Amino acid sequence: MPEPRRRQHAVDRDATVDRDATGDRDAAGDRDAAGGRKVAGGARKTLQRVLSRAGVCSRTEARALIAAGRVSVGGRVVLDPETWVDEAGAGVALDGAPLGAAAPLFVLLHKPKDCVTTASDPQGRRTVYDLLRGIPGWVAPVGRLDRDTSGLLLLTNDTTLADAITDPSSHLPKTYRVKASTLLSEAQLDALRAGVALADGPTRPALVERLRDGDHRSFIALTITEGRNRQVRRMLEAVGSRVLELRRTGLGPLQLAGLPAGRHRPLTDEELAALRRALGGRP
């Protein structure tokens, strides 16, 4: 059974903080902690979501804790993770202790290539959680980097901040160092700057800097302000090239510089303040 306040790497795919509606359902069968229908109006969320929002575990771990009878609301053990409760967690207890917000954790990881952004992998591949020994609590990745992409990955238990970062309306810049499979012409770079047509719609304008050219390949820095699936790879394909190597070097004001692959460090207070400013002062 998961121990949410001590384990730092027992998190599965549900733990990754990607932007979704809310994770809560407003179905006719939803019930509150007293067994009745969900009360209309008021700030209420499902019990599993409240546990996750408190930063003590993932939603998957929350479901396991609830099913094990370790969570109570108003002194009564609740076994349904879809039970609606006060959004602030009033009256919710875990193992008899009133639910309180976990100490905030903000971890910057240099994710290496050939490492997946999940807690476990059925193929036995290395995951980012194998690199997070010594983190004193649960954290979840803010978005994902695919297996073949290396670089800056932010992990946190602050789901409100994570949602703000992954909100498409935030347009938080993400910078990548790209090794292309071909020499890129100025016309191709201009096309990337202006935005290219992808299957899910045109991309927003991007910042593109030519770093250097090799004998047969170009190296560029590409900054985008959206986060679609495999977007940079698809953008290079749209201008007639391919990505051979991809490393994320920046997320808003956060920079990867100086952090070796596979290592992690906490965010500084200055970095966290700069990140909140980049998000317009929220949350």
Q: Is the dihedral of CA 155, 51, 49, 171 positive or negative?
A: negative
Apex 194 CA angle, 193 and 200, nearest 5: 105
Catalytic: 146? yes
Quote the tokens at residue 102: 């976990």
Q: Which two tokens stand for residue 88?
A: 């602030």
Numbers of helices and strands, H then E, in the chain: 6, 17
d(CA 147, CA 153): 12
Compute CA distances 272 → 7, 50, 105, 148, 279, whole Å.
Answer: 24, 24, 11, 28, 11
Q: Comparing C-alpha atoms, which of 102, 111, 158 is closest to residue 132?
A: 111
188/126 Cα distance (integer angstroms): 36
Containing 159, the helix (H) or strand (E) segment is: helix 159-166
CA nearest neighbour of 189 among 215, 210, 217: 210
Q: Are 254 and 271 in contact (CB under 8 A)?
A: yes
For residues 279 and 160, give the distance between their C-alpha atoms in angstroms, rounded to a whole number. Answer: 12
CA distance 248 to 173: 11
Phi, psi of 182, deg, nearest 5? -140, 170
- Residue pair 231/146 in contact by the 8 Å Cβ criterion: no
Q: Which one is catalytic: 95, 114, 121, 146?
A: 146
- Active-site annotation, residues: 146
